[in-house]
Structure 1
Amino acid sequence: MDPHNEVVGLCAAGMAAEAAGERARARELFERAWAAAGDDYERCVAAHYVARHQDTPAATLRWNEDCLRYADAVGDDRVAGFRASLHLNIARARRDLGDHEPARAHLALAAEHIPAVPEGEYRNWLRLAVADGRRAAAGPAAARPRGARRPDQGLVRARQADRAGPGAARPPRRPRHPRGRRTPRHDAAHGARHRLVAGGGTGRGGAGDRRADRARGPRNGPGLSRGAAR
């Protein structure tokens, strides 16, 4: 969208007000954008944001359907990336009104238009929202057995990767002992066994070591005690 366009600028200011928690200010800016719209493209943009601040599902549906009608009237690449969001919003409004069959139809259309949305976090969010909506619309029959992998986990990871940016390094994997988890106690026992094999004693410098020394005889020749040899 052209940031120098008056309608687009008012909508961007409205989004900033929303992010700051100033909903009344945001609604005022979106309504000003609608009043300033001079063609079908600008009406499409403004109607999308005005729809966000309606008090009833019926009013929300009307604004979103108007937005889709203006997008159809424009019919070029400027609105190609809008359609997935428009159909998703209409599906939500239909669902809130209890119109489940039309809601499912618009969710299917939203899924068809996702490839036209530029790659990035917003596209990943749309895919996740559409998948969640279609699963909810399918009802209990779509429930998976406990422990089954959620199909949208890959989307969550994709969103996290998108935030991290390309080429982000993965956290290093913790090395594992081939025989299972090691603890300091296991390491100490392993060291003791190693000393026992290498030195022929208990690995603790106790009576077993002294008996083994006496059995082997002097280490450094006659007349040298262990203390002297050290």
Structure 2
Amino acid sequence: MHQELLWDQRALAAADVLTDERNAEAGVALPVAGLYPSLHLNLADCYRKVGDLEHAREHLQHARAGIGALGDDEYGQLIRDGLDRLAEQVDP
């Protein structure tokens, strides 16, 4: 589990140095801002799994704050649904 958490932390750090141009060159249609809700959702879920609900809630909040960068499509709905499910598990 800690390896998954480390991986998700690295993915978030890597996104911080991406640009929309580099994303497009790599064939990713989303702007960089559209990656953050998923990255934070993954981190929140990892923190939940290791029992760190404070950090899980923090990343859930970050994911919710960036949700506007997602389109009204299947991917956006997938992330929104994931956020809703996780919120039920970590929100008091």
Of Structure 1 and Structure 2, the greater helix share is in 2
Give 1:86's aligned residue: 39
Instruction: Flag the structure with more relative contact order, 1 or 2, with Cα contacts below 8 A and sequence separation at least 6.
Output: 2
Give 2:82's aligned residue: 129
Unaligned runs of 5+ in 1: 1-56, 140-230
Q: 2:48 aligns with which of 95, 106, 112?
A: 95
Counterpart code for 1:99: D
Q: For each residue in 1:31-85, what CA deviation from the matched residue of structure 2 results, as whole angstroms up to 9, or x when unmatched?
A: xxxxxxxxxxxxxxxxxxxxxxxxxx111111111011011122x3342111000
Kindly state the Cα deviation for residue 127 of structure 1 after the two structures are TM-superposed. 1.0
Kindly state the Cα deviation for residue 118 of structure 1 after the two structures are TM-superposed. 2.2
Counterpart code for 1:90: L
Q: Could you tell me the TM-score, scaled by structure 2's length?
A: 0.81
Q: For each residue in 1:87-118, what CA deviation from the matched residue of structure 2 results, as whole angstroms up to 9, or x when unmatched?
A: 00000111111110000010011111111112
2:8 maps to 1:64: yes
Kindly state the Cα deviation for residue 134 of structure 1 after the two structures are TM-superposed. 1.3
Counterpart code for 1:130: L
Unaligned runs of 5+ in 2: 21-30
In structure 2, distance between residues paired with 1:97 and 1:136: 13
Identity %: 35
Please tell me whether Structure 1 or Structure 2 has the larger radius of gyration of its CA atoms.
1
Give 2:17's aligned residue: 73
Give 2:23's aligned residue: none
Give 1:27's aligned residue: none
Corresponding residue pairs, total: 82
Aligned residue runs from structure 1 range 111-130, under 5 A: 111-130=64-83
Give 2:24's aligned residue: none
In structure 2, distance between residues paired with 1:131 and 1:119: 16
